[in-house]
Amino acid sequence: MLKTFFSFLLTLIVVHAFSQEKSLADYEVALNQLSIDLISEANDESKLKVNEEFKSLLNEALSKKGSFDFPFKNIRAISILKSNDKVKIYNWTLPFNDETYQYFAIVQLKLANEQYKLIELIDKSSEITKPETQTLTDKTWFGALYYEIIYDKKLGSDTYTLLGWDGDYNLTNKKIIEVMTISKSGAIKFGSALFKVDKKPQKRVIFTYSETAVMSLKYHPKENMIIFDYLVPPNSNLNGVFEYYGPSLDSFDAFILEKNHWKFQKNIDVKLDKNSKDRRWTDPNGK
């Protein structure tokens, strides 16, 4: 009995030592495999189970020294954004069989005195009414898959503008312009009235369009503009029926950074290219 006990104890010590010795590159390999499983599993129950494994392992990896500066660039099915050496967002989605999506994110913050903080964002978008007017938190996040983070001190030293994609449901997609602010203690808030549309402030901007369309929404840093397709239905009888909305052929609008807000400007004279980034964020399933 004593021999068995010591054998068991030795096993625990070895396992513990191995976990302590894992490098960030080792974590990256394991996380990459799990991230691929997230979108390749056949049924929703399996996806949710793998997702819990992925989230747990990611939290473990991000608690390791040096993780903030480690790129994790080889994790395939995840978006990682970093800004001004203070904020890093790890963001992914679960596509379900009913063609809906659930979004997940972990925000890694670098605070004062080289202290770090991890904050999990909880997707509550299905419960949020009139999201354009709502101030939200990490516990009431309007979930999306972010592909760009914009930082400019004109908006505030703690303010970040995010561009994202939302698969919505089987007939429509969404593109989202979101504002995230971070307090000195590391508390996160989403939604600030920084968007001026027809002299009316708006806390976030949401575009809804046909699932078969590709909408361009890009930040142009030289011009300090977020430029996007003007969305229209095929005819006036379908006004407000967003399942039929798509980009017009040659019309673009923009939000221009002006003083401490984003100002809406109609009919920007620019030719946007539909690059691979636009296509990539149409659907994680590659439809």
Q: Give residue-wise pLDDT tens across range 183-198.
A: 999 999 999 999 998 8
Q: Which of 5-9, 78-82, 98-102 has the lowest mean pLDDT?
A: 5-9
The type of residue at 103 is: Y
User: What's the pLDDT at 10?
Assistant: 37
Mean pLDDT of 40-66: 96
> Which residues does residue 117 pair with via DSSP β-bridges, in sequence order?
109
- Residue 277, pLDDT score: 47
Question: In the beta sheet, which residues pair with residue 180?
Answer: 160, 190
Torsion of CA 207, 212, 213, 218, to 10 degrees: 70
Mean pLDDT of the residues in the chain: 89
Q: Would you state the pLDDT for residue 76?
A: 92
The answer to whether residue 18 scores a pLDDT higher than 60 is no
Asked whether the beta carbons of 87 and 70 are under 8 A apart, the reply is: no
Q: What is the pLDDT of residues 200-259, one digit of tens each?
A: 889 999 999 999 999 999 999 999 999 999 999 999 999 999 999 999 988 999 999 998
pLDDT at 99 over 60: yes
pLDDT at 157 over 70: yes
What value does the mean pLDDT take over residues 161-168?
A: 97
Question: What pLDDT, on the 0 to 100 scale, is given for residue 88?
Answer: 98
Which positions ≥6 away from 285 have C-beta within 8 Å? 39, 95
Provide mean pLDDT across the span 69-73: 97
pLDDT bracket for residue 171 (50, 70, 90): very high
- Over residues 157-163, the mean pLDDT reads 97
Q: Which residue has the higher pLDDT, 119 or 276?
A: 119
Looking at residue 182, its pLDDT comes to 97
Residue 121 near residue 105, CB atoms below 8 Å: yes
Q: How confident is the model at residue 282 (pLDDT cuts 50, 70, 90)?
A: low
Greatest distance between any 2 Cα atoms in the chain: 83
Q: Which one, of 64, 68, 61, lies nearest residue 28 by Cα?
A: 61
Average pLDDT over residues 107-120: 94
The answer, yes or no, to whether residue 53 has pLDDT greater than 90, is yes
Of all residues in the chain, what percent carry a pLDDT higher than 90? 80
| Whether residue 284 has pLDDT greater than 60 | no
pLDDT at position 183: 95
